[in-house]
Structures are given as structure tokens and as C-alpha cells.
Amino acid sequence: MDRRQFIKKSAGVAAGAAAATALAAPAIAQSNPKVVWRLTSSFPKSLDTIFGGALTISKFCKEATDGNFEVQSFAGGEIVPPLEAAKAAAAGTVEVAHTASYYYWGQDATYAFGTGIPFGLNARQHNAWYYYAGGNELMNEFYATQGLVGHIAGNTGAQMGGWFRKEIKTVADLNGVKMRIGGFAGKIMSQLGVVPQSLPGGEIYPALEKGTIDATEWVGPYDDEKLGFYKVAPYYYYPGWWEGGSVLHALVNKAKWEGLPKAYQAVFDAACRAANADMMASYDAKNPAALRRLAAAGAKLAPFSPEILDASYQAALKVYGELNATNATFKKVYDHQQAFKKDAYLWAQFSEYSYDTFLMTLQRGNKL
């Protein structure tokens, strides 16, 4: 090959490479566009574990896309009031609400299943129901009617039964008690004479201190300690039968979700799964030490009596029967979850329950 032919062919190859680069760059830019979403939480920044779910979503979305998909997280009240987060997402005021679905049960009782219903599933069972037993598909059929798409993005585990200014030994002791209690559980508690109140986290302590309310439930030892309830309501009851494993959701505006590139949809879904696992692990790591500190500070721990638990369960069944008769969507989800729950607790008796019960006996005997 002479010199002229070599130069001519080399120039052709270079030109072809340059053309390929010119074509590839716009294609990459189109598949990884700059997208900025806003997420409003229902929780204050001071509750680092539960608000942390929103931050985990933001972190994963940004880092997995080299900053091209940015989900900006805002605490409750910074954009919209904490208990209006889902409404803001549905309306398109923000793209995402990180919230407890049951806050919105007043619009439709089916929302309650999104977080958990009284005497419902625990945390592990919720994961199994959502991820592998059709729960996510079932709830998203409902969320679609509200202009939303749901992704589970956190779990608190089984919660405590709350703080009371006076002892609660019998069902009669609940009569007339003004209690801040989240979501659907208030409807059940009202059957026992409780007067339910709906308040966001930041407003609970002042109301409890002033006597505007007589009792409150929130989450568990770690968060409850931060909010200082033990200072004004020393009686700390358990279990929180209304929240056996509370699910937090990232509720996304449906139109915005459908317009999001598929790659970013996958990233967002993975980020929510990470938030779900991280929150539960964080609570499990932090609650034991917090419970010890609360007891040392004067919190009086006591279980709800069998009488109260049984009366609560019967009240729950009564309410479910009424809703099943009037709300077809509620009944569809309820029947599905009940069938799953029966099998889940059958298996739990052979696995976690027998194993944990033995080790708890050792713990109580100081043999661990």
C-alpha cells in the first residue's frame, strides 16, 4: 500500500469513528435525561429513622444515575402539611409522597391496608404479601384509582401500644380517653370508648402536656424517646395491636411515573426496596437500648390485659364486617390478605415462634 492510499483509508476510518461518537452521545443523553423530582415526607427530620427512608430513596436514585435522576426530599410541612402528602402527590404538586397510607383512610378505608390494619400482618409477612403473594398488584389497582402508584419503602416492625397519663387495666378504663392514634386504628378504638385524635408527630407532645389529649401512640422506643412522651405520660403499654408491622409507602403521581424512563423506574423501585430493608434493620438495632433508657427514666411498661386485647379484636372484626358489606374494594383486599395471613401464621408456629420463644425464655433467665 502506497502512502497516498494509507492516508486516504485512515482518514475514512477516523471520520467513521467521529460520526459514531456524534451519534452515540445524543442517544446516551436521551436514555439518561436529567430528571428532578420532589418528595414530600409526612415526618420531621428529627425522626431520623422514619424520615431516613426518604433520604435513602434520594441517595440511591442520585448515585445510581450519576446525578441524572434526582429525588429531592422534604420533611413534613416544608412543602405541604404532613397529613396531606399523598394528596399533594396525586395532584402533581410533588412527584412523590413518603408517607403512611392509612393516614388517608377517611377518603377510602382501603388505604388502611397500605400501612397495615389492626391484627393484620407483621413486617416479614407484609414483605412476603407485597413482593410475592400479589399484595403489591392488588394495592396498585386501588392506588391507580387515586392517581397514584405505590412502592413499599419502609417498615417500623411491631409497634408499642402507646403512652397514657393514667393506668389502663380494663376496657372500662378506655372510656372517654382522648388518644392520638394514627389511621384506621382510631375507628376500632372508638368502639371501646376512646375518642381518637389525628395529629402529626410534631404536635403530639404539646397536646399531651397540656392535657388536650390523654394518650398517644407513635412508633416504638427509639422514636418515642426523641419525642419525650415519657415525661408527661408515664404508662407505656404494649403491643400496638393496630400496627403489627407498619409499612411506609412512596406514593408516586401516576402520570409522572408512567412518563419516567424505564431505567429510572427500575432504579426508583430498587431504591424503595433498599429503604424498606434499611428502616427495619435500623429500628431493630436502636429500639432495645432506647427501651432500657426509657425504663431507667421512669417509663412504666405494662402489657395490655387479655380482656382489652380480646375486646379490641372483636371490635375490629365488627368494623371489618361492616366495611366488607359496603366497600367492595376493601373486601377484595381483606379477603386476599386474610387467606394469606392464615397460612403465614401456620408456618410461623413451626419457625420463628418456636425458635424465638425458646430464646426469650433463656433471655428472661439471664442465660443468653
Instruction: Transcribe 161-199 into DSSP letters.
Output: -EEESS---SGGGGTT-EEE--TTHHHHHHTTT-EEE--
- Is a pLDDT exceeding 60 seen at residue 3? no
Question: Cα separation of 244 and 34, whole Å?
Answer: 40
Position 182 scores a pLDDT of 76
pLDDT tens figures, 312-367: 999 999 999 999 999 999 999 999 999 999 999 999 999 999 999 999 999 999 99
Position 184 scores a pLDDT of 87
What's the average model confidence in pLDDT over 263-280? 98
pLDDT tens figures, 123-150: 999 999 999 999 999 999 999 999 999 9
Both ends of the chain: CA-CA distance in Å? 83
DSSP letter (8 states) at residue 309? H
Question: Cα separation of 368 and 237, whole Å?
Answer: 26
C-alpha cell at 179: 388518644
pLDDT tens figures, 165-205: 999 999 999 999 999 997 789 999 999 999 999 888 889 99
Position 265 scores a pLDDT of 98
* Domain ranges (residues) in the chain: 33-156+245-284
DSSP letter (8 states) at residue 261? -
- Is a pLDDT exceeding 70 seen at residue 27? no
Position 30 scores a pLDDT of 60
Question: Cα separation of 142 and 114, whole Å?
Answer: 10
Q: Could you tell me what percent of the chain has a pLDDT over 90?
A: 89
pLDDT tens figures, 285-318: 999 999 999 999 999 999 999 999 999 999 999 9
Question: Cα separation of 54 and 275, whole Å?
Answer: 8
Residue bearing cell 439518561 = 32
Position 2 scores a pLDDT of 52
Position 21 scores a pLDDT of 43
What's the average model confidence in pLDDT over 37-44? 97
Q: SS3 helix, strand, coil % of the chain, rounded to 5?
A: 60, 15, 30
pLDDT tens figures, 86-120: 999 999 999 999 999 999 999 999 999 999 999 99
Q: What is the average pLDDT value for the chain, to the nearest integer?
A: 92
- Is a pLDDT exceeding 90 seen at residue 26? no
Higher pLDDT, 183 or 253: 253
pTM, full prediction: 0.89
Q: For the domain bounded by 33-156+245-284, which CATH number is listed?
A: 3.40.190.170
Helix residue ranges per DSSP H, 297-327? 306-326
Supply the Cα-derived Rg of the chain in whole angstroms: 25
Position 285 scores a pLDDT of 98
